[in-house]
């Protein structure tokens, strides 16, 4: 049954997210599932293979998600036309959805924690962590905001500074939510921050195309 393979992956992810990759033993994963560690090697060729499968799945999920939302999926250079008609509403909508995703989704929240614990181990992990969760989103928002300023949706400002101002509360509150069970208060705080941002930087008039 391929069901066991799935259980191994999720169990390992949960453990990796709490203890870190090295601190989790193969026996630990197996014991959590009530099987022996030998059985585990029928599904994955080694411990690293489990980790790699997790990362690979995250890539798949992420690609799928960015397709579902009407926001640009690629860098500005590759498809600048996709940045032309991004609305404030879709930004806000996508951001709140991403917050729930990174804090509450069983896979994504644990993946984020796991990556947090592996970020200093080598350059590959550092890059992955920063692209997904730290500086990656900042560059992304910078491109969007630059276009929004050009289109007159936002007031004149430094797009990079706007990007930091917009994304920083997201990043902080995601990490705040790790501590407490009640993630709702952080989400409401984020909503306030976004509304304040919009109110502060949105151009006063609407411009038709």
Partner DNA sequence: AATACAAGTAAACGGTCGTTTACCTACGGA
Partner DNA sequence: TCCGTAGGTAAACGACCGTTTACTTGTATT
Q: Report the nearest approach of DNA to the CB of residue 21 (Å).
A: 9
One residue of 19, 32, 62, 105 binding its own copies per CB under 8 A: 19
Radius of gyration over alpha carbons of the chain, in Å?
20
Residue with tokens 């630059």, as numbered in its chain: 146
**Between 16 and 170, whose beta carbon lies closer to DNA?**
16
Q: How many CA atoms lie within 13 A of 83 on its CB side?
A: 19
Q: What angle do CA 80, 134, 111 make, to 5 degrees?
A: 110
Chain length of the chain:
209
The residue (of 26 and 134) whose beta carbon lies closer to DNA is 26
The nearer residue to its own copies, 101 or 197, going by C-beta atoms, is 197
For its own copies, the binding residues in 114-133 under the rule CB under 8 A are 116-117, 119-121, 126-127, 130
Contact 140, 42 (CB under 8 A): no
Pairwise CA distance, residues 152 & 27, whole Å: 58
Would you count residue 158 as binding its own copies (CB under 8 A)? yes
Taking the complex as a whole, the smallest distance from the CB of residue 169 to its own copies amounts, in Å, to 4
Q: What are the start-end ranges of the H helices in 79-158?
A: 88-104, 106-118, 123-133, 135-150
139: contact with its own copies by CB under 8 A:
no
Window 63 to 102, contacts with its own copies (CB under 8 A): none
**x/- letters, 24..53, toward DNA (CB under 7 A):** xxxxx-----xxxxxx-xxx-xxxx-----
Residue 191 as a binder of its own copies (CB under 8 A): the answer is: no
Helix axes 106-118, 47-68, angle to 10 degrees: 120
Q: Which of DNA, its own copies, none does 20 bind, CB closer than 5 to 8 A by kind? A: its own copies
- 34 versus 204: smaller Cβ distance to DNA: 34
Paired strand residues for 202? 154
């Amino acid at each position: 049954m391929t069901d066991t393979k799935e259980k191994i992956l999720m169990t390992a992810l949960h453990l990796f997210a709490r203890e870190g990759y090295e601190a989790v033993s193969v026996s630990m994963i197996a014991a959590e599932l009530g099987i022996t560690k030998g059985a585990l090697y029928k599904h994955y060729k080694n411990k690293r293979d489990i980790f790699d499968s997790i990362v690979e799945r995250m890539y798949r999920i992420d690609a799928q998600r960015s397709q579902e939302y009407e926001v640009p999926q690629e860098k500005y250079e590759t498809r600048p036309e996709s940045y032309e008609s991004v609305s404030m509403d879709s930004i806000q909508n996508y951001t709140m959805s991403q917050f729930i995703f990174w804090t509450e989704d069983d896979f994504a929240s644990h993946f984020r924690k796991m990556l947090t614990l592996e970020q200093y181990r080598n350059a590959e992990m550092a890059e992955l962590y920063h692209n997904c969760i730290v500086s990656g989103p900042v560059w992304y928002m910078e491109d969007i905001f630059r276009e929004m300023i050009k289109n007159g949706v936002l007031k004149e400002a430094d797009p990079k500074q706007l990007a930091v101002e917009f994304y920083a509360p997201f990043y902080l509150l995601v990490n705040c939510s790790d501590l407490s069970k009640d993630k709702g208060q952080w989400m409401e705080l984020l909503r306030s921050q976004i509304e304040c941002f919009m109110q502060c930087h949105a151009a006063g008039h609407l411009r038709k195309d």
